[in-house]
A = this chain, B = another copy of it.
Amino acid sequence: MQSTVIAELFKQIDALPIVDIHTHIDWKQPTARNIGDILSYHYYTELTHSAEAQPGESPEERFPFGDPEQLTRAIWNKLPLIGNTVQYDWLMTISREYLGLPASAWRASDGWQAVFRRSVEVMDRPEWSAQLLQQSHIRRVMLTNRYDEDLDGLDEALFSPCLRTESFLHGIHDPAEREQMAAFLGRPLQQVADVVAVIDKAAALFCDHGMAYAALSTPVNMRTFFVAEEEAQQLFDRIKEGAALDSEGRDTWNAYALARVCDACRRHAKPFHLMVGVNRDTYAHGVPSGMDLFDSLNSLSGFDYLFNAYPDVLFPTSVLADTTGLELTAAAWIRHNVFPSGHWWYSNQPTDIARELRRRLDVVPRNKLIGYYSDAYYLEFVLPKFRMYKFELAAALAERMERSRIHPNMETMTLDEVLELAQEMLITNPLRILGLPDLPHTSGG
């Protein structure tokens, strides 16, 4: 490690404004109101539960999720067990940067009340969101929204809605979901054309509010293929009757619905952001949002049909399994419509970020790299997560600079040159690929 160069590079990259292309932030309440909200993030509940099993009959009962103060108390004494993790480091950054509390404040076994009190003082103020945004240079935040979410009042200069599409695929089997779609559409769902109409109506409404893209997290080894209207209709008829489709039938419906979402993306010239390869609800004794895993046996080849059939749709793509990392890099290397996007969930840690970052930097055209997104549930997490990434980026770029001085095939790279690359990955590319307007003052922050 070349600490001095990394530190200098990080400082400059950290000064860049933040464009966060994927979050789960609630735009009506984008920040936490206290440290209990922060600690309710599944990373803290799942890690402390993993460190030492939390009692409780169901996921919801393991921690007092309805009472942030008691949640803080319940989790406090287990935090030292996860003090080695990057997730704990995020928490310390939140504490230092936003609460003004040093890490030492977290070490006293009876310190939870003082921390909680301080967190309320800072976070439970009407001006907190605005202050945090300014302090952290957060300029654009993509959201995750249901098709029927009322977006009126959305601050479109800051937030862009993104149409989550699981409801049209797996969700179709849930009668309550179908009823909500019917309510949204204003008529019963009789034909597949009605489902398509839901997608269309949602896309049109979202576009009215500055939609960034459609989004889907996919199950492991999802397959895409052509499905005829008639076959989809037959499946939909059975779904309406409440029949449980077999695995083939479910896959076929998913492939059909996915293509219809792509049709909407095409029509509105919007990208489709894929997050590939999650196994839902595998850990029976977990905490809420802490029960999903991935499978190392996961292939991107199931998307060949989709990528080929929609050459005019852009597909920013994230993968969950480390084993799919080079496959994504290779797809982005030759496919004009695939863009490697950030580092997702279990792959969102230094070791795998570092590897994928280097692969992408070495063989994917520079204008296609989408550096990072936070996946955050509260705005407080954006800064620490981006800093984790930006540090790895600084390390990779410092290495690139040093290599360039002695590498037989490279020319010496300057600090300005590698910073330009960082700015493209973090700002220019995401804005251009997602069709978002430029930032008022892009350079410097």
A residues with CB within 8 A of B: 1-3, 6-7, 10, 14, 46-53, 81-87, 89-90, 92-93, 103, 279, 282-286, 290-291, 293-301, 304, 307-308, 311, 321-327, 329-337, 346-347, 349-352, 355, 358-359, 361-368, 384, 387-388, 390-391, 399, 402-403, 405-411, 421
Contacts and interface: CB of A to CB of B under 8 A. Distances in A.
13 contacts: A50-B333, A53-B311, A53-B336, A84-B361, A89-B410, A279-B301, A284-B308, A284-B311, A285-B311, A293-B327, A326-B352, A388-B409, A391-B407
Contacts of A406: 3, 6-7, 10
A320 to B, nearest CB: 9
Contacts of A81: 365-367
A403 to B, nearest CB: 7
B358 A350 contact: yes
B408 A387 contact: yes
A350 B362 contact: yes
A408 B47 contact: no
A336 B52 contact: yes
B334 A362 contact: no
B93 A334 contact: no
Nearest to A305: B284
A59 to B, nearest CB: 11
Given A1-B403, A93-B408, A351 B359 contact: yes
A351 B366 CA distance: 17
B336 A285 contact: yes
A52 to B, nearest CB: 7
B355 A351 contact: yes
B346 A351 contact: no
Q: Which of A81, A82, A384 has the most CB of B within 10 A?
A: A82
Contacts of A85: 362-365
B327 A296 contact: yes
Contact of A336 (B7, B49, B324): B49
Contacts of A294: 327, 330
Contacts of A304: 282-283
Contact of A346 (B10, B330, B405): B330
A282 to B, nearest CB: 5
Nearest to A297: B299
A409 to B, nearest CB: 4
Contact of A296 (B324, B388, B402): B324
Contact of A47 (B10, B92, B333): B333
A53 B295 CA distance: 33
Contacts of A84: 361-362, 365-366, 421
Given A10-B406, A362-B349, A321 B326 contact: yes
B365 A347 contact: no
A394 to B, nearest CB: 9
Given A295-B327, A411-B103, A86 B363 contact: yes
Q: Which of A279, A351, A367, A368 has the most CB of B within 10 A?
A: A351
A290 to B, nearest CB: 5
A365 B82 contact: yes
Q: Which of A323, A408, A411 has the most CB of B within 10 A?
A: A408
